[in-house]
Amino acid sequence: MRFGLFLKPLMYLDPGSGSFIIQMLLAGLLGIAVAIRIYWKKIVAFFRKGKTGDVQDQLDELDEYGGTNGIKSEKKDE
């Protein structure tokens, strides 16, 4: 395996060539998805003008702090 341009002395993990290649295969697609999401948010924001606080955003925030995520039973928090 020769990833000369990628591998730096600090790279102590073996990232795996397959794991690199799949990222490049997906790169275009995932990049487009991000762009679409940004525009979609703008469109949604335009129509939701005046409404304060996006509940979903707040819940997502809680998730990232290890909130009560992934609970199927009882009260669903999303």
Partner 1 sequence: MTDSYQFASFRDPSGFLFYKDGTLYRQVNQSYREHYDHLMKSGLYEALVSQGLMVHHAEIDDVEAVNKDLAYRVIQPEKVNFISYPYEWCFHELRSAALITLRLARTALDHGMILKDASAYNLQFVGGRWQLIDTLSFEIYKEGEPWVAYKQFCQHFLAPLALMAYRDPRLNLMSRLFIDGIPLDITADLLPARTKLRFGLMTHIHLHARTQKRYAGKEVRREDVKGKVSQRSLVGLLDSLRNTVKGLTIRTSGTEWADYYQETNYSESAFEQKKAIVKRYIERVQPSGVWDLGANTGEFSRLASDAGIFTVAFDVDPGAVSRNYIQARKNHEGNILPLVMDLANPSPGLGWGHRERESLVDRGPVSMVLALALVHHLAISNNVPLGKLAQFLSEISEYLVIEFVPKSDSQVQRLLRSREDIFDRYTVSGFEADFQVYFEILEQTPVPGSERILYLMKAKKR
The C-alpha atoms of residue 56 and residue 67 are separated, in whole angstroms, by 13
39 binds partner 1 (CB under 8 A): no
Q: Does 56 interact with partner 1 (rule: CB under 8 A)?
A: no
Comparison of 48 and 78: residue with beta carbon closer to partner 1:
78
Nearest-approach distance from CB 50 to partner 1, in angstroms: 27
Helix (H, G, I), strand (E, B) or coil at 68: coil
Residues 9-28 that bind partner 1 (CB under 8 A): 9-13, 15-28
Could you tell me which of 64, 54, 60, 52 has the C-alpha nearest to residue 77? 60
43 binds partner 1 (CB under 8 A): no
Between CA 76 and CA 78 the distance in angstroms is 6
Task: Give contact residues for partner 1 (rule: CB under 8 A).
Answer: 1-6, 9-13, 15-35, 37, 63-74
